[in-house]
Amino acid sequence: MQILVSTLLSKRGITGASAVSAFLNPDYERHTHSPFLLLGMDRAVARLLLAISQNERIAVYADFDCDGIPGAALLSDFLKKIGYENFEVYLPHRDREGYGFHTDAIAALAARDVKLIITVDVGTTALDAVHFAKEKGVDVIITDHHEVTGALPEAVVVLNPKLGDYPFPHLCGAAVAFKLVQATLTEGKRLSLQAFKNIPDGWEKWLLDMVAIATIADMVPLVGENRVLAHWGLIVLRKSPRHGITALCAKLRLRKSELTEDDIGFSIAPRINAASRMDEPMLALRLLTTGDSDEAKQLAAQLEKLNASRKGVVAGMVKQARSHVKQRFGESDRVIVLGNPEWKPALLGLAANSIMNERGGVVCLWGRDTLGRIKGSCRSDGDVSLTELFANAGDVFEESGGHKASGGFTVSHERVHTLPEILAAASSMLATVPSVAEASAHDALVTLSEVTSALFAEVSKLAPFGAGNPKPVFLVRGAIVTGMQRFGKEKAHLELLLECRESGVRCRAFDFFRSPEDSTHLPVQGEEAGVLATIARDSYRGGLALRIVDVVPVSV
């Protein structure tokens, strides 16, 4: 088993005793970086402490997703902890306002006598909005992690790990906000300020549950400092005193004491995001910050209902989009662009991701928001960087931005119909890189008799898994398909019952996603199948199960 772990680490480029030890045993004190290494942190702390000392009204302005909202929650927790009540949290509405730092919101905050705005997960490129705030007499501290594409806003400071010489540039937005809290607590205690005297050393670690949720949900690389924050954040999350987390776990039948990154990615984060996609983002913030257990239960039930509704709407969008893809695009098309004025922009990313998972490449979907604007979301399998694709598309977009694998845009009604040709041409100018799946189809060969709790325990040493640290994929050989059925609303998932040809050991395998109309390479009941899969706990029947990545010819 030790050989397997060494092999898996080596495939991830982790070699040498010190690197292996740091990866397998994340040490919070040794393996995280001082917040004061972030460029401008001293200025940010000084301005925040000045606002606190003068009782200025502070606004936390956070993005409406599962990075911004946890970041807003931890800043809110911090201000409450030091007894500071003269603050509010502002979350822009996903449909009515959209992503970004908006002048209308700034004007409203200024009218409520806000003197300092702290952003979370937004603001690095908001030159006009920050200038507007300055004209209104409002200072801005930006905490963000998005790409720096040009000049910086006239903020008090832009805290972004991609600026300066910070040792790890891949923090999520909530983690940058957490760094601001860390630094402010350190300086407040050093200056012996009254509000900080009774706060126990290390109290801020209780905020790591929010950092873990955001880090995993935002799919930043789970290596380096992010791995440490996610590892310890999961430990805190399992002990979290938050009524909202307890209520959500109860509603979803999750064991809080055993929460994993999968529970965040597949259960917790979708419910938090459902608030802004289907209703008001403040519902999710209230869930994470409420001190009332009854309110927490009501909010958890409300978010579950919204998420169920969201699933139905997205399924309908995917079905429509899939039909149009078959009619208009061939297998060789690298970029898919589709739209419908009836599609809800808040759900486009989810639908685009489903189509991208089926066919790869780049998928861009657009719809129309409540103000009549054409908004789009794109997803890429990684072969083409969306930031580069947008940069090569000329001036077709009114706004665009995002990351390598996910992004969004606003486009005029006149130019939306030229997008397929423009993005296809832009894509042809970009070099592609082999995807992770193509570079390494599987990590090791196993038989069903080797899929044991001991193997699962060894593999789990590499957790938490995510971007930059994918779950090990095993090629299961010698497995006979003894049962097979589709499940899910659109019958787009497959469950296999497998039996080892040599030992007779049986195992359940599930979650092989494909279009119900696509029957290629499906296994045949009673015959042997090659299964590429990760190992997971079977939450339905107990024990272990295989989560299928693909079914391949037996000769592979």
Q: Cα separations (Å) of 281 from 10, 225, 287, 407?
A: 42, 28, 10, 20
Q: Report the range of poorest mean pLDDT among 110-119, 150-159, 230-239, 437-446.
A: 437-446
| pLDDT the model gives residue 111 | 98
| pLDDT the model gives residue 402 | 78
| pLDDT the model gives residue 4 | 83
| pLDDT the model gives residue 164 | 96
- Identify which of 39-43, 218-222, 314-318 has the greatest average pLDDT: 39-43
Selected residue with higher pLDDT from 141 and 417: 141
| pLDDT the model gives residue 126 | 95
Q: To the nearest 10°, the Cα dihedral for 365, 272, 76, 299?
A: 140
31-206: CATH topology is inorganic pyrophosphatase (n-terminal core) (3.90.1640)
| pLDDT the model gives residue 432 | 52
Q: Is the predicted pLDDT of residue 281 greater than 50, yes or no?
A: yes
* Arithmetic mean of pLDDT, 352-379: 93
Residue 112 and residue 118: Cα distance in Å, rounded?
Answer: 15
Q: Is the predicted pLDDT of residue 247 greater than 80, yes or no?
A: yes
Which has the closest alpha carbon to 437: 508, 361, 516? Answer: 361
> How many other C-beta atoms are found inside a 10 Å radius of the C-beta of residue 323?
12
Residue ranges of alpha helices (H) inside 329-445 are 345-359, 386-391, 419-428, 436-439
Q: Is the predicted pLDDT of residue 488 greater than 80, yes or no?
A: no
pLDDT digits (tens, 9 = 90+) for 53-83: 999 999 999 999 999 999 999 999 999 999 9
Q: Is the predicted pLDDT of residue 3 greater than 70, yes or no?
A: yes
**What does DSSP assign to residue 369?**
-
Evaluate whether 306 touches 273 at the Cβ level (below 8 Å). Answer: no
* Helix, strand, coil in percent for the chain, rounding step 5: 45, 20, 35
Give pTM, 2 decimals.
Answer: 0.90
| pLDDT the model gives residue 87 | 98
Selected residue with higher pLDDT from 51 and 1: 51
| pLDDT the model gives residue 436 | 40
| pLDDT the model gives residue 515 | 55
| pLDDT the model gives residue 489 | 63
Domain limits of the chain?
A: 31-206, 329-436, 440-552
> How many other C-beta atoms are found inside a 10 Å radius of the C-beta of residue 194?
11
440-552: CATH topology is OB fold (Dihydrolipoamide Acetyltransferase, E2P) (2.40.50)
Residue 244 and residue 263: Cα distance in Å, rounded?
Answer: 15
pLDDT digits (tens, 9 = 90+) for 384-436: 888 889 988 888 999 888 778 888 999 999 999 999 999 988 888 775 544 44
Count H helices and E strands in the chain, helices first. 20, 16
Q: Report the range of poorest mean pLDDT among 79-83, 334-338, 342-346, 437-441.
A: 437-441
pLDDT digits (tens, 9 = 90+) for 515-526: 555 555 577 888
* 202 Rama sector, left if φ>0, alpha if ψ -120 to 50, beta otherwise: left
Q: Is the predicted pLDDT of residue 266 greater than 50, yes or no?
A: yes
| Phi/psi at 340 (5° precision) | -155, 125
Strand (E) or helix (H) holding 301: helix 293-328
Q: Is the predicted pLDDT of residue 308 greater than 90, yes or no?
A: yes
| pLDDT the model gives residue 552 | 79
| pLDDT the model gives residue 517 | 54
* Arithmetic mean of pLDDT, 179-201: 96
Q: Is the predicted pLDDT of residue 11 greater than 50, yes or no?
A: yes
| pLDDT the model gives residue 471 | 92
| pLDDT the model gives residue 43 | 98
Evaluate whether 117 touches 107 at the Cβ level (below 8 Å). Answer: no
Paired tokens of 41? 């942190």
Q: Is the predicted pLDDT of residue 513 greater than 60, yes or no?
A: no
Selected residue with higher pLDDT from 354 and 226: 226
Q: What is the mean pLDDT of the chain?
A: 91
Selected residue with higher pLDDT from 295 and 21: 295
Q: Is the predicted pLDDT of residue 130 greater than 80, yes or no?
A: yes
Q: To the nearest 10°, the Cα dihedral for 454, 456, 459, 462?
A: -110
| pLDDT the model gives residue 504 | 85
Percentage of the chain surpassing pLDDT 90? 68
| pLDDT the model gives residue 406 | 87
* Arithmetic mean of pLDDT, 299-319: 95
| pLDDT the model gives residue 512 | 60
* Arithmetic mean of pLDDT, 200-208: 97
| pLDDT the model gives residue 538 | 78
The contacts of residue 285 (CB under 8 Å, 6+ apart) are 69, 72, 73, 76, 89, 91
**Which residue(s) pair with 411 in the sheet?**
374
* Arithmetic mean of pLDDT, 112-129: 97
* 119 Rama sector, left if φ>0, alpha if ψ -120 to 50, beta otherwise: beta
Strand (E) or helix (H) holding 479: strand 474-487
Percentage of the chain surpassing pLDDT 70? 94
What is the SS3 string spanning 231-277? HHHHHHHHCCCCHHHHHHHHHHCCCHHHCCHHHHHHHHHHHHHHHHH
Q: Which residue has the tokens 């390494």?
A: 440
Q: Cα separations (Å) of 239 from 242, 244, 272, 335?
A: 9, 13, 19, 44
Q: How many residues does the chain have?
A: 556
| Phi/psi at 62 (5° precision) | -120, 155
* CATH classification (class only), 329-436: alpha beta
Evaluate whether 392 touches 370 at the Cβ level (below 8 Å). Answer: no
The SS3 of residue 278 is: helix
